[in-house]
Amino acid sequence: PKPIAAFETSNVCLGSPVGLTNLSSISGGGALSYVWNFNDGTQSTQTQPSKTFLVAKTHFIDLSVTSDKGCVD
């Protein structure tokens, strides 16, 4: 099955870590791997990373999730 990439953010204040709650799932279970793209030249492969932005602007965070069978969302 195809995984579903989803997350929520909290504590969105300049200079403070943004809390990222990973809500990704896959029906039937299975291992998932993650690539978080913070669109500032940095990425993370942690399940639930945090990120501190130092510039006041709208930041876009992308999450790509891959199942242990190679399916991607």
| Centroid of chain to Cα 49 | 7
Question: In the prediction, which pLDDT does 12 show?
Answer: 80
Matching residue, tokens 């995984």: 3
Euclidean distance between CA atoms 25 and 32, whole angstroms:
8
Average pLDDT over residues 43-50: 96
Average pLDDT over residues 42-55: 94
Question: In the prediction, which pLDDT does 29 show?
Answer: 85
What is this structure's pTM? 0.91
Euclidean distance between CA atoms 30 and 14, whole angstroms:
36
Q: Are 3 and 66 in contact (CB under 8 A)?
A: yes
Query: Tens of pLDDT along 11-31?
Result: 788 889 998 999 999 998 889
Token pair in block for residue 33: 């791997």
